[in-house]
Amino acid sequence: MLAPLLALLALPATLAGYACPDTTKAMVNLKGPGSGSGTVYFTQHEGSDQVKISGLISGLTPGKHGFHVHVFGDIFTDGCASTGGHYNPFNRTHGAPTDRIRHVGDLGNIEADAKGDAHIDFTDCVISLCGRRTILGRGVVVHAGADDLGRGGFEDSKTTGHAGNRTACGIIAAIDPTK
Ligand SMILES: *[C@@H]1O[C@H](CO)[C@@H](O)[C@H](O)[C@H]1NC(C)=O
Ligand SMILES: *[C@@H]1O[C@H](CO)[C@@H](O)[C@H](O)[C@H]1NC(C)=O
Ligand SMILES: [Cu+2]
Ligand SMILES: [Zn+2]
């Protein structure tokens, strides 16, 4: 009786999804200091742990760019630098979105095409738009380089994915969920 319960409690808290009682939507407008700007939407339907992430970021250098939720939405004090580190409420190491051990904010990479456009359309069930893992009011950062997903072997691979400078960022704002 007790053993399965204890096993369940020992699971990393990031494993199970977090459903919201109401449909919740948010958006982020991303802007420089570096190249890349655009808008990304987050949608989580009533009772679901899936967050749909969609949008377009243009003006990027072609290729992969680290894409994370950072802990603070503060782009006022010092631009993207004041958004803090990756949103990591469970004190884990950096990883890929599909890893069992990851930061809540680890959304991996977006990829810009030859024109510099990154079309974003994926889902994640570790971030949430409500409750203990909410990303509302926090920051999104797009990096100049690729996120190595913790596997690059650099000094900062296990904290930031060695993704380099913060090229664009914005604040995740709640929007009208009926629209
Ligand atoms: C987070 O984990 C590291 C080791 O991975 C540990 O040194 C540190 O004390 C932990 N911080 C908190 C707040 O638990
Ligand atoms: C990061 O940004 C700083 C300041 O803008 C710049 O001096 C540096 O060359 C950049 N690093 C890379 C790897 O682009
Ligand atoms: Cu980041
Ligand atoms: Zn991370």
Does the CB atom of residue 164 touch ligand 2 within 6 A?
yes
Q: What does the alpha-carbon distance between residue 163 and residue 60 come to, in Å, rounded to a whole number? A: 14
Q: Among 120, 163, 121, 126, which residue's Cα sits nearest to residue 142?
A: 163
Atom number in ligand 2 closest to CA 164: 13
- CB contact set of 6 (below 8 Å; sequence gap of 6+): none
Query: Could you tell me the domains of the chain?
Result: 17-175 (2.60.40.200)
Q: What is the pLDDT of residues 30-74, one digit of tens each?
A: 998 999 999 999 999 999 999 999 999 999 999 999 999 999 999
Greater model confidence, 150 or 6? 150
Give the model confidence (pLDDT) of 74-113 as tens digits. 999 999 999 999 999 999 999 999 999 999 999 999 999 9
pLDDT tens sequence across 105-139: 999 999 999 999 999 999 999 999 998 899 999 99
Nearest atom in ligand 2 to 165's CA: 1
Q: Is the pLDDT of residue 161 over 80?
A: yes
Both tokens of 83, joined, read 């958004």
Q: How confident is the model at residue 17 (pLDDT cuts 50, 70, 90)?
A: confident
Q: Is the CB of 165 under 6 A from ligand 2?
A: yes
Q: Whose CA is nearest to atom 14 of ligand 2?
A: 165
- pLDDT of the residue at 19: 87
Q: Is the pTM of this model over 0.85?
A: yes
Could you tell me the pLDDT band of residue 15, with boundaries at 50, 70 and 90? Answer: low
